[in-house]
Amino acid sequence: MIEQRAPLTPEQAAKNRRIIVVVALVFIAVCIAVSVWGRMVVKESQAQASSTDAALRSVAWSILCYASSNDGAFPTSPAQLTAAAAKAPVATPPGGKPWPSTQDAALGGLAFVAFPAAADTIGVTWGATPDVVPNLNTKGKPSTKGTVDAVNGWLAEYARDRMRSSAPAAANDKRSDAK
């Protein structure tokens, strides 16, 4: 059997309405606070991603210039890249290839970050010999979609192009040695 409850008194009904309003207001306040906090986190992450991208693009550009100045040889240490950057002028990579041919194109509208400062932001895995392409990474920091792949792609394509351009000459040298 269902037990019948006595109807609420006007005082009890008013008290229940106040509790419901307070719970609803707390819920709305929490929703607004979470939204504001989320926007702040997203903006900070976007700012850090922009900084990381600038460092990645600056270092990739510096490595391309180093390789262009050193007959296709890549730097094998941070000291080599820093020393080369201190010298002027530096050769720029050839245009019309799958890598940028100007610093502005490489940076994509971002500010240039000198190597020592960029090295604090990103990671570089240096090759053991000058023919090994350095690999850039974000050290776990945020970056916009595709920047790491793009800059490592520039370096890899530069190395492939250098290998292609030197391969026919090497093949011709072997043929002339055989005669």
User: Model confidence over 134-158: pLDDT tens digits?
Assistant: 999 999 999 988 899 999 999 999 9
CB proximity list for 138: less than 8 A, separation 6 or greater: 52, 56, 122, 123, 148
- Asked if 105 contacts 154 with a C-beta cutoff of 8 angstroms, the reply is no
3-class SS of residue 100: coil
Q: Read off the pLDDT of residues 30-74 as tens digits, 9 standing for 90 and up.
A: 999 999 999 999 999 999 999 999 999 999 999 999 999 898 899
pTM for the predicted model, two decimal places: 0.76
